[in-house]
Amino acid sequence: MVDRDPIDDLRAAWGAVTPPPPDCDAQTAALVDDLRAVWNTLEVPESSPNALRLRLQLRARASRLRDRATLAAAASLLIALVVSALHAGSERRPEDQLATHELTEPAAPDVAADPRVRYLAPEVRASMAQDGAVELRHGRVRLLLGGGTTTTTITTTDVQPARTGPEGQ
Amino acid sequence: MNDQRDNDDVLLAGVMAGDSAAFDAWFRRDHPVVWRFAYGIVGHRSEADDLAQDAMLQLHDKLETRDPSHSYGAWRDALVLNLCRDRLRRRATRLRAETGAGEERATRSVQASSAELERADLQAVLARALEQLSERERAAFVLRELEGRTTLHVAAVLEIGESSVRSLLTLARRRLRAVLGERFDPRPAAAREASDG
């Protein structure tokens, strides 16, 4: 014996459901006819396609103006950001720009060629301590700080340490 | 049906291509249809004016994103119906705010007074009668019974089955019958008097 799926019963019952028949009585049909007759007397107000055309044009113009204003505001913001970044960059202490090589006497060619050291006179005597401080003992050194925006010139004439880096700028 | 669709496609292609003559023809053909449907739903001429303008603008905007495999008429009417629903919702919110009570849609009898009928203001009576229907009943009744669309069209607009449309129509007719009763007689006063003796 095969079990009958109760869902099949539900499905069969559902299939037997029919929507209510439309009201076909004469009075209701006459009422609907009357309503339709009144509806057909409805006068739609005159409207010209030019009104819509004008509205579309005005909207397009407003949109263009809005786009331009947005673009101008974005450009201003970008310029402000760039100027601000440049300004901040000039004030930043570029410690990584300092020559941190231990210098020998005279300056080793690889140190002199280091792009972070723009000018290193051959007579400079310098050394670097364990904590990274650079001690200048003799000579004149010019370190270019901050990506070329700030130049610091340090002159020493003695073996006494004149400046220590990176703090001593 | 296919001829209608082909005509729609040609006309709408012209509108989208910026053809001025096609734009005029499309507007002159659709604006009255849109206005009547909007009026049937919201029941106020001034609101129907606004809605028809907004609907034409939106239809124009969305023509390019329309799925051409579906009926343009059903798509248009669905868009109009959505705009009307938004408008009715805003109106209901405003009314609630103004009156402080949400007692709209009580099934009150429409008093189609003799004075009103004498003024031949039957359209106002019809609009007030339609207001007594639920929004879906109203949309179905206006489209099917007053505008003469097919049941399939109405089903596509309301996104329901055809049998549901038939049910809505039955309910709408019953409710209108109950609301308008025997008082509704669209004949001019002179004709009524002559027949009444």
pLDDT digits (tens, 9 = 90+) for B18-69: 899 999 999 999 999 999 999 999 998 899 999 999 999 999 999 999 988 8
Given an 8 Å threshold on Cβ–Cβ distance, is A19 in contact with B184?
A: no
Does B180 reach chain A within 8 Å, measured CB to CB? yes
Which of residues B1 and B132 earns the better pLDDT score?
Answer: B132
Range with the poorest average pLDDT among A94-103, A133-142, B23-32, B110-119: A94-103
Q: Which of residues 21-50 of A touch B (CB under 8 A)?
A: 21-23, 27-28, 31-32, 34-39, 41-42, 44-45, 47, 49
Q: Which of residues 62-121 of B touch A (CB under 8 A)?
A: none
Which of residues B63 and B5 earns the better pLDDT score?
Answer: B63
Residue B37 tokens, joined: 């449907």
* pLDDT above 70 for A143: no
A6: left (phi over 0), alpha (psi -120 to 50) or beta: alpha
Contacts 24+ apart (CB under 8 A), A37-42: A37/B186, A38/B122, A38/B123, A38/B125, A38/B126, A38/B186, A39/B36, A39/B40, A39/B123, A39/B126, A39/B146, A41/B122, A41/B123, A42/B36, A42/B39, A42/B123
* pLDDT above 90 for A103: no
Residue linked to tokens 């009026």: B39
Report chain B's mean pLDDT, rounded to a whole number.
84
- In this prediction, residue A20 has a pLDDT band, given cuts at 50, 70 and 90, of low
pLDDT, average across residues B83-91 = 92
What pLDDT, on a 0 to 100 scale, did the predictor assign at position A97? 45
pLDDT, average across residues A154-169 = 48
Distance of CA A17 to the CA centre of its chain: 60
In degrees, to the nearest 5, what angle opens at C-alpha A85 toward C-alphas A84 and A86? 90
What pLDDT, on a 0 to 100 scale, did the predictor assign at position B184? 64
% of chain A beyond a pLDDT of 70: 47
What pLDDT, on a 0 to 100 scale, did the predictor assign at position A167? 45
Contact at 8 Å (CB) between B136 and B168? yes
Give the one of B146, B169, B170 whose C-beta lies nearest to A39's C-beta.
B146
What pLDDT, on a 0 to 100 scale, did the predictor assign at position A106? 54
Using only C-alpha atoms, chain B has a radius of gyration, in whole angstroms, of 19
What pLDDT, on a 0 to 100 scale, did the predictor assign at position B172? 93
Angle at which helix B45-62 crosses helix B72-99, to 10 degrees, equals 140
> pLDDT tens across A32-89, in order?
888 898 888 888 888 889 989 998 889 889 989 999 999 999 999 999 999 988 877 6
Contact at 8 Å (CB) between B170 and A20? yes
Task: ipTM value, please give it.
Answer: 0.78
The four Cα atoms B26, B27, B32, B34 give a dihedral, to 10 degrees, of 80
Among residues B13, B150, B3, the alpha carbon closest in space to that of B68 is found at B13
What pLDDT, on a 0 to 100 scale, did the predictor assign at position A5? 81
Which of residues B96 and B143 earns the better pLDDT score?
Answer: B143
What HEC string does B60-86 produce?
A: HHHHHHCCCCCCHHHHHHHHHHHHHHH
Minimal C-alpha gap between B7 and chain A (Å):
20
**Which amino acid is located at A117 in the chain?**
V
B32: nearest CA partner in chain A: A44
> pLDDT tens across A38-47, in order?
888 888 888 8
What pLDDT, on a 0 to 100 scale, did the predictor assign at position A168? 39
Enter the pTM of the model: 0.61
Does A160 reach chain B within 8 Å, measured CB to CB? no
% of chain A beyond a pLDDT of 90: 12
